[in-house]
Amino acid sequence: MTDGHPFLPGMSRETFFAAYFRRTPFVLRGAARTLLEPPLSVAEFEEIRARMAREHPVQVVERPGEARFVRVTDLASPRLAAVSDTVRHALDWPNVWCDAVRTLAPSGIGCHFDDSDNLVLQQEGTKRWQLAPPSGLPEDSLRRRMTGDHTVGTAYMPDDALEFVLEPGDVLYLPVFWSHWGVSDGPSLSISVALNSASALQTVLPLLGEELAAHRAWWQPLAPGEPDLDALWQALDDPALRHRIGETLRVRHRVGVRHGLHAPRTRPATEPEQDDDTRPQPLAITLRGPLRDLLRRTPDLPDAHALLAAPLSGTLWADARREHARHVLLRVLRLLRHRSGHWDGQPGILRTAQTVVDLLAAAEETELLALGRHPVLLGAVRRAEREAAADYWEPADTFVPHVASAVLGIAARHPGTAAGRPLTAAPSEPHGIAVLLPGERWTVPGTLGDTTAVRFDPQDGTPELRTADGTWQQATRTPLTTTGRSDLRLLTHHTWWQTAEQLGISWHCGRLPDHETDTAADAVALLAAHWPAALAAAEAHLLLFTGPAPAERLALTACSPPAPEAAAAGLVTVLARAQWRLLTDLRPPPDGLPPLPSPWDGSAHSAPWVYGQLHAARLQGEFCRRLPGAAPWTDAVLADVARATAAVRAAAPADLALADAVLQDTDHTPTGSTPSR
């Protein structure tokens, strides 16, 4: 029995608010029956839906053949109203009601965030949930939602999302603002108990207005000129006014907890109002030259086991990168065509998209293959695919400007293709754009906006950028900093990284290096001396010298290597993550795998994500093996890799083919030079 006021089995109200409320989700297995027994049946749900459709039709939403959603079911179901009453009194929460959703096939209602905390009670079937904290959501979207704008609420899920599978009888807590996406494995039925929230603007400000209406300084006509603010502020200093507002709020809270405060909500933004297929598709895509040859070649999917068993094999991975480049370019073209129906009123975006397509058709094969490992392009594709899956569309398209930034080098080589058609591109810094292919920085004296237009001299390809004040300035082209004897380049603080970090796709752009150029050069020299095959693989897979995000340091977390060793191990980590992403792009893991606990932070993630972590950690360990001499930090890394491998092996599902190649003995040596130790 838990101490304090009982709430759910094994959890008191005090524990809920102290440890979990608006901090982290949790699952309580079998706890739903303490709130609703017997469980809601399909027949009972359909009775509720039919009554709500007659009496409150705005609260009923249906996607034919997929899902049926009923809001505020308390208005039609005494049993569900009793659930709300129980939760309201248990948590001393004034505004609680139940929603219900029934899926008829594997489906959900899309990825979104709510302005309420929610308890999901799984009634029938199973549902897989992905959750992510609100740190990646724009604050303006949260503000608008909390001030009554229900046109915002859609989101997309980062790769490192938490993952849970609910069985009948389970309870899932979803904190407010957390992005969540529930998809059933088949027919299912669940209830969401909404702990509805309100802001001070919604609760305190109206009361303040009522109180100030009694003060002459606030209701009398203002004199011409500047108002007498001192007289206005004086009323706000009245202790009696504050006491009356506080007492009114306390009374309303007690009444709400005792009797409830039901208020129907409006249609959420997660429900599309029209089918995308009905929108015009104005983009013209014509394949020719190397692009046609690459896209029409017979797919040659790599053997994942062979690749993971030889992570540094130049020949095997070269074939895989060619196939991945083909795969990435197909996705780019499909996304451009799919999104083009959303560009009404954005002629610059449509013009840029058409120019991008024409530049791809004019590019050489080597340029097309290099785009397959372009971090900004990869990040933009992943983000756009999440948006499409969540039916989320930003008012101003950001996918096309990021794709345009990736092909600016091709535009400079083919200025005639872009003649008279400025490209809308995403800057990488306030005064310029990093053109990773061919490795230059284009800068201007003026300040650029969130996007900038780029045009080219039709004769020599000299670029000009349009600044935020609308003026065109010729760009100065300087080489990006390289890392000693390597072709890998350094890119310090840039907006691309900030965007990637917010969206959970950080390894595409890599973490901003927190060390000096000399450290990167020393790290390259270290790899060249002790593991040249790894350096060659990094140069083949990556364009930038980067390091892992803090959460991806893995086995390095518990130790403090010297700066060059830390930078070299970090580059190896980014290499491994890029390899894993390539493989899972080309060979998506099967659906329905149970989540696994990460051996580093214990959080539940998708099984492929955890295996990718382990692949990266094993390359970290292999790097340590090759360093001359023993050191405490290298032994700590090797021990941690062995521990993590054993932990994942113990929890691994048997039906993920990629797992076999990752879960090798910890003393396995990847193909390459012999270890120095």
Domain ranges of the chain: 6-199, 276-479, 489-662
Report residue 52: phi and psi, to 5°: -65, -35
How far apart are the C-alpha atoms of 632 and 49, rounded to whole Å? Answer: 64
Q: Which long-range contacts does 448-454 make (Cβ < 8 Å, 24+ apart)?
A: 450/426, 451/396, 451/398, 451/401, 451/424, 451/425, 451/426, 451/427, 452/424, 452/425, 452/427, 453/348, 453/422, 453/423, 453/424, 453/425, 454/404, 454/408, 454/411, 454/422, 454/423, 454/425
Under 8 Å CB-to-CB from 646, ≥6 apart: which residues? none
Is residue 15 within 8 Å of residue 153, measured between CB atoms? no
Residues 24-59 have pLDDT tens digits of: 999 999 999 999 999 999 999 999 999 999 988 889
- Which residues pair with residue 441 across a beta bridge? 434, 478
CB 49 within 8 A of CB 58: no
The yes or no reply on domain 6-199 and CATH 2.60.120.650 is yes
Residue 385: CB partners within 8 Å, gap ≥ 6? 331, 335
- pLDDT value at residue 419: 80
Q: Which residue has the tokens 């360990």?
A: 621
- Residue ranges of alpha helices (H) inside 542-594 are 563-586
Distance CA 63, CA 65 (A): 6
**Chain CA centroid to CA 266, Å:** 26
Rounded to two decimals, what is the model's pTM?
0.75
Please give the mean pLDDT across all residues of the chain. Answer: 84
Confidence of residue 440 (pLDDT cuts 50, 70, 90): very high
Burial level of 108, CB count in 10 A (0-12/13-18/19+)?
Answer: buried
**Cβ–Cβ under 8 Å, residues 217 and 231:** yes
Residue 1 confidence (pLDDT) above 60: no
pLDDT of residue 417: 87
Burial 5-42 (b: 16+ CB within 10 A, else e): eebbeebbbebbeeeebeeebbbbeebbbbbbeebbee
Task: Give the confidence band of 547 by pLDDT, cuts at 50, 70, 90.
Answer: confident
What is the per-residue pLDDT across 564-576, written as a single tens digit (0 to 9) for each? 898 999 999 999 9
Q: What are phi and psi of 8, to 5 degrees?
A: -130, 160
Per residue in 641-662, pLDDT (tens digit) is 889 888 888 877 655 666 666 6
